[in-house]
Chain A
Amino acid sequence: MRDLFLEIWSTLRQNKLRTTLTGMAVSWGIVIIIVLIGTGNGLMNALMNNAMDEVQNIIAVYPGFSSKPYNGIKEGTWLRMDDRDLAFSEQVSEKIDRASGNLEFSDTLSFGREALSSEVYGVDPLLKDIWNIKMVQGRFINKKDLKDESKHIVIDEDAATQLLGDDNDYSKLLGRHINVGNIPFKVIGINEAEEQSWGHQSYIPYTTAKTMRTDGAWLSRVTLEFHDLETKEANDAFESLYKRSINNFHGFDPEDTRTTYMRNYYLSNQEMGKAIRIMRLALWILGFLTLLSGIVGVSNIMLITVKERIHEFGIRKALGAKPMSIMKLIVVESVVITAFFGYIGMVIGMAADFLLDKTIGSHPMDIGITQLYIFKNIGVGFDVALEATLLLIVAGTIAGIIPAWKGARVRPIEALRAEK
């Protein structure tokens, strides 16, 4: 192998300028691929705001309004769900493992002289992953909080900063008590503020929230944990069964589909994954087409090189070189050129991604009513670098194969006759 590379090095040295010019086309192709995929990733990151990493077996049920009168229930009646619905939901199908509820209301958070208004969510611990809540200090609501109906609260960093007044070190709030309305709650965690939201969100245990509602603890959302609902058909069947059952339970028209809205996270994640894969594939194809011109260039140069070296190959063959060894010489040379310039392109591409991330990736666009991130975390991962490496090796081989075949096919007597 070392001999092979020494051979290639000695031939490459002779055509430095030509090889460099050709190689630049390959570099450019890889730059395009890396920048396309990097910004593509950035776009998707911003769209999903780093949505759930794992596909979870979760269906969210949101109560809605009846769309037609039925049996004394007027059109537009809200489906009021509470703890009884949770118990009932678990009975609807053996596929449901657990049902948990969510309550939400607005209240005033206060600390000392500072106060602000916040949306307060009574949650189940599993919402942390579903809503992709990122903790910067402390922890999220856990099962024990739920069981103990503890007066624990998680607030976002903006709220924490605001409550502390001039003091910007919001970590000082951790472990202190703040008031929700006039009930003291201990701050057990501070989460990353969402960039694209209006106002604040705070989280307390669902069970605690329930006790605070005197006007009825109506659920804003029911979360179903399930197993075996992994196809669209199974999900649709389950959805209509659930809607009919819950309508019956409340005395609504069993066929009214507007009373609840359901979302299967497993399926939508799957769909999202599919969309991302298609988009990535499209970007790869675009990049590959750009790279293709580079490959054609390398192939062309290799053909010229082979033509120039016909005499040399003839000598080698007369001295005992087998066709395979000539072929290897040319293909490996082609791969070396492509890989070398490809890597230069990869470095430039990654630098470009880094620059883009520091510019358009770090500054939100002002769209009038709010600020919006169009790109987030522009860049490619190790996987893309690996895939690009593979692509380069394949590309180099493709570029080299026709010239190599021509070189290997040459008959020594004809080659020896060739003008030097």
Chain B
Amino acid sequence: MLIELKDVNKTYFGAQPLHVLKGINLGIERGEFVSIMGASGSGKSTLLNILGILDNYDSGEYRINGKLIWDLTESKAAEYRNKMIGFIFQSYNLIGFKTAVENVELPLFYQGVSRHKRHEMAMEYIERLGLKDWAGHYPNEMSGGQKQRVAIARALVTKPDIILADEPTGALDSKTSVEIMDLLKELNEKEKLTIIVVTHESGVANYTNKIIHIKDGVIGQIEENRAHDSVRFGSDGPLK
């Protein structure tokens, strides 16, 4: 089991304590392509943050590849994120004053890879994602789809165990959304990458092989979706 969550709880202590995750039990195998689906407020973002070691949990157990993720120092958490997880965000989160290839180089920089080597590796992924001519361009010179492909290259370049995609099509038009989802699907099929997509759009979730529904901080139904016939893409959004 690549990812294992056992009775994971998380409460936000504000003016009114908010119990967001109420005992999450979940297992994801290596090479799976799954989506976590839920409405806003369901706890899916919190779950994503915990899966991405961006936030900690109050009780329970979270293991990646058998390694317990608990009580990490900030440096250690950064190191784990760098090695094990590749992020794809809704708003791309590229650094504006860096070119496409420099953005892709960044995770390697934090691994201490030499300049020459990391440029070479970054270029390789840029080319694989069909952005060769755009390598020297800045994010504001690119379309949304291109930006998201740069972000995907950045997520892939460290060869992480898990790709975490947070609403990867949220800022894209329907045509580009299809392209990006096709790309993720292809990466899962050809490269056997473990990809977890967090979304509230059923059309996006339908691309994945397994849909995990989360509601009010607990895992509801887990739907096998090999046939990709659960929802027609774009059936629940005004645009898609």
Contact = CB atoms under 8 A, between A and B. Distances in A.
Interface of A: 2-3, 10-11, 13-14, 311-312, 314-325, 411-413, 416, 420
A3 B115 contact: yes
A319 B158 CA distance: 10
Nearest to A412: B54
B154 A320 contact: no
28 contacts: A3-B109, A14-B97, A311-B93, A312-B95, A314-B93, A315-B95, A316-B106, A316-B110, A317-B81, A318-B81, A318-B87, A319-B87, A319-B106, A319-B107, A319-B110, A320-B83, A320-B107, A321-B110, A322-B74, A323-B74, A323-B75, A325-B110, A412-B54, A413-B49, A413-B54, A413-B55, A416-B54, A416-B93
A319 B82 contact: yes
A14 B110 CA distance: 23
B78 interface: yes
Give the one of A2, A13, A315, A318 with max B CB within 10 A.
A318
A305 B95 CA distance: 15
A411 B53 CA distance: 11
Contacts, number: 63
B203 interface: no
Interface residues of B, number: 28
A320 B94 CA distance: 14
Contacts of B94: 315
Contacts of B55: 411, 413
Nearest to A413: B54
Interface string B83-97: 100010101011111
Contacts of B154: 319
Contacts of B54: 318, 411-413, 416
A320 B91 contact: no
A183 to B, nearest CB: 83
Contacts of A13: 97
Interface in B108-149: 109-111, 115
Contacts of B182: none
A13 B97 CA distance: 10
A161 to B, nearest CB: 69
Nearest to B109: A3
Contacts of B93: 311, 314-315, 318, 416
Contacts of B110: 316, 319-322, 325
A324 B110 CA distance: 11
A321 B91 CA distance: 20
A63 B154 CA distance: 90
Nearest to B76: A322
B223 interface: no
B52 interface: yes
B224 interface: no
A315 B89 CA distance: 10
Contacts of A411: 54-55
A14 B98 CA distance: 12
A56 B189 CA distance: 89
B79 interface: yes
A13 B128 CA distance: 31
Contact of B98 (A10, A314, A413, A420): A10
Given A3-B115, A312-B95, A320 B81 contact: yes
A231 B119 CA distance: 68
A321 B54 CA distance: 12
Given A315-B94, A413-B55, 6 more contacts: A10-B98, A11-B97, A318-B52, A320-B78, A411-B54, A411-B55
Nearest to B102: A10
Contacts of A312: 95-96
B3 to A, nearest CB: 18
Contacts of A317: 78, 81
Contacts of B81: 317-320
Interface in B148-193: 154, 158
Nearest to B106: A319
B188 to A, nearest CB: 22
Nearest to B80: A320
User: Which of A11, A13, A416 has most B Cβ within 10 Å?
Assistant: A416
Shortest beta-carbon contacts, A-B, top 4 = A320-B82, A320-B110, A322-B75, A319-B107
B198 to A, nearest CB: 13
Contacts of A420: 91
Contacts of A319: 81-82, 87, 106-107, 110, 154
